[in-house]
Every structure is written in C-alpha cells, then in structure tokens.
Structure 1
Amino acid sequence: MSTSPNKSRNVEKHFSPITLPQSPAGISSHKNLTGLPRVARDIVADLYNNIQRWNDNHIRGANITKSIAHLKTNNIADYSKDLENLTSDLFDVVEKLSGISEAFDFLCSQMKSLVKLHKKTTTLFISMRNEQLADFVEAITSAYKGELKVKKFVLENIAHAKNKNEVMFYAVCWAHQQKVNVETNVKLEALLTETGHRRIM
C-alpha cells in the first residue's frame, strides 16, 4: 500500500531527523584522538583508574575494621598490641585514600580548565555539553571527598568504641559507602561512554 505525498509531508513535519553538531571525536577514532578530546578522554581514564585504587583500599579497610570490631566485641576494653597494629594499618589505608582524593581534585581542576580552553560551541565528544563533563567529574570528586571524611571519622573513633553497638556502627559506616551512591556510578558510566571507554549498546 503506497503512502500519499500529503501523508509523507506530515510525517516529515512531525518526525524530522535530529542533526547533532559534528565533534572532533566524531570524525576520528577514539584511539587516535588528539588535542582537547584526547586530554578529556585521558582525564576520564585517570578518574576511573583512581576509583579502582580507591575500591581496593576501601575493601582492605573494610577487612581491617571488621577485625577491629571482632576484637572489641570480644572485649570492649581491649587495647592490645593487635588492636594497635590494626589501627595503624587502617591509618595507612586512610592515608592512601587521602592521596587518591587529592588526585580526584587535580583531575577535576584539569577538566574545568579544559572546558574553559574549548571556546567552540561544538561538543568534544557525542552528546554531553562540555560543561557537563566538568560537572560530572566535580560531582564524583565531591562524593569521594565526602566519603573520605567518613573514613577519617571511623579511624579516629573505632578503637575507642564504648560498647559493641558502637564498634559495629563504625564498621558498617566504613563498609557502606553512603556518599558514593548509584547516582555517582551513573555519572561515571556516562563519562566512560561519552569518551569512548565504554561501547554504546
């Protein structure tokens, strides 16, 4: 059954094709990017790699807080050498997390500077506005900085817990990264997809 010219014109009127501005990344393979798109892509890669480092240290810290909780649950007045060693290990973990948080700050500053340098209205990649790239990196950085404050709070208090409930509270605070939520992970995945580190399904 053929379509009438009038009907075709109506379809075109209501369903016109979307034209996206051509970006530097759109005309080049992601592996061969140069200039600002390459810098932005590298920033997102560094962000992801530092998050993996954070996760490794978070898990190590969770195991340490679990061991501290076990000691204190058995004897709340425990201030043994074992507790001292575990607290020292937890301090080392927090120091590493602090270094990673500083790396996040640096990457956030880099992305903001990159956006300022890109004077053109075209996007650097596919669809996200350039300011949005910086906003997402800043939001992720802020989430991990908030989580670092929680980790420091646990470090300062868990060995001095006054009862079993308190020590378990500190252990749960460490394990459950409330500041790093689903929204944080969605923003990270969006950045990875936008910059070509994840394939668009």
Structure 2
Amino acid sequence: MTTTPNKSLQFSPVAISPRAKTVQGKNLTGNPRIVRDLTAAIHSNIQQWNTLHLNGLSLLKTITSLKTDNSYPEKLKQPCENLTQVCNKLDNIVEAFGQIVNQMKSISKLHKSSDHLFSTWPVDKFVATAHMIYESYKKEAEVKQIILENVAHDHRDAMKMLNLAAWVHQTQLPDNLNINLESMLVETKLR
C-alpha cells in the first residue's frame, strides 16, 4: 500500500530577515545589543532568584522546625531575619525585571523598522515576554512576603505544610515561563 504525502503537513523554512543575516557573526551594536544584554540580565536574575529560593526554603524549614508552640524562642529570630533578607533580595530582582521591561518598551518605541532584531521575533514579542516574566515574579514575590509574615506565628502542622508547599511550588510562575525564557535566549543567540 502506498501513501501520498499530505501537502498540508509540509513545513516551510523560516525566513530570516536581512537584518538578522548581517548581525550573525559580528559584534552586536545598537538595539540588538541592548535587547541581547537585557535578555542576559533576565536570565541572570532568574538564576539569582533560584539560588535565593533554595536558601529561603532551607530557612523556612528551620523556622517551621523551631516553631513548636505559641512561644517565640530566641533561636527563631536569626532565621526569620535571614528569611527577611532573602525576601528583600527577591523584591530587588522583581524591581530589576520592572526596569528591564521599561527598557524593552523604550526599544520597541525606538525601533521603527519592520525588520526583526534577530531571526524571527518582532521587538514587541521581547517586550511581551519580559513583561510576562516580570508580572509572574512580582506575584510570586508577594506570595513569599505573605509566607514570611506568617511563618513564625503559627505552629500548626497544616499551616507549616502550607507555607512550605507555597514556597516550594511557586504557583505564580506559569508552566510556560521557562519555555519563553529559553526561546528568548535562543532568539538572541545566547543559547
């Protein structure tokens, strides 16, 4: 039995803009360089976030193990202060994401050409992706702040588990965030 190929399933090659062809293999300048640097900054900030997230988890485990009743033992103070510092650093990362979004928006306004800066993404897609990352991490930082405010005040096992689960699972970060970040890195040739 022979089958004929279905023409609707054929793929067409990706069209690369003339601008992208001239950029490959050269040092970037202007808007492409700025977008690439901002993309690298997003990636770096997410790596810092992940490190702080793990440090915060360790502190949270310490706090929940020390909180056994309604009292506030002295040894609870230091891990709570350290967790506050972690949350402050997470807030700083969110602030950096906000600045990156503003810079991306400025580039979008300046980039009048219909050419893509790189291979396939228009400038607006970089803005939208950076904005989605910023909003997601902003919401997650708010959750972590709520955990910080409540973790040392409740000794019930259910609340301890809720705080730990909320910290670990980072429910405000959408499933497609890493895919979008990786796509951004590939588009700017950082991967």
Q: Same fold (TM over 0.5)?
A: yes
* Structure 1, unaligned runs of 5 or more: 1-10
Larger Rg: 1 or 2? Answer: 1
Deviations 1:136-176 (A, max 9, x none): 11001111001000010000001011511112211221111
Using the TM superposition, give the Cα deviation of residue 130 of structure 1 relative to its aligned residue in structure 2, in angstroms.
Answer: 1.5
Do residues 196 (structure 1) and 189 (structure 2) align?
yes
Superposed structure 1 runs of 4+ greater than 6 Å apart: none
Give the match for residue 50 of structure 1.
45
Asked if 2 retains the 8 angstrom alpha-carbon contact of 1:23 and 1:124, the reply is no
TM-score normalised by L of structure 1: 0.85
Which residue, 106, 111, 133 being the options, matches 1:118?
A: 111
Give the match for residue 166 of structure 1.
159
CA distance in 1, matches of 2:86, 2:147: 12
Structure 2 vs 1, CA of residues 195 and 156 (structure 1 numbering), >3 Å: closer, same or farther?
Answer: same
Q: Secondary structure at the match of 1:133?
A: helix
Give the AA of the match of 1:153: I
CA distance in 1, matches of 2:25, 2:78: 47
Give the match for residue 4 of structure 1.
none
Q: How does 1:125-164 map to 2 (within 5 A)?
A: 125-164=118-157
Using the TM superposition, give the Cα deviation of residue 17 of structure 1 relative to its aligned residue in structure 2, in angstroms.
Answer: 5.9
Give the match for residue 98 of structure 1.
91
Using the TM superposition, give the Cα deviation of residue 181 of structure 1 relative to its aligned residue in structure 2, in angstroms.
Answer: 3.0
* Structure 2, unaligned runs of 5 or more: 1-6
Using the TM superposition, give the Cα deviation of residue 23 of structure 1 relative to its aligned residue in structure 2, in angstroms.
Answer: 4.5
Give the match for residue 169 of structure 2.
176
Give the match for residue 39 of structure 1.
34
Give the match for residue 179 of structure 2.
186
**Identity %, equivalent residues:** 35
Using the TM superposition, give the Cα deviation of residue 185 of structure 1 relative to its aligned residue in structure 2, in angstroms.
Answer: 0.8
Structure 2 vs 1, CA of residues 30 and 161 (structure 1 numbering), >3 Å: closer, same or farther?
Answer: farther
Over the aligned positions, Cα root-mean-square deviation in angstroms equals 2.0
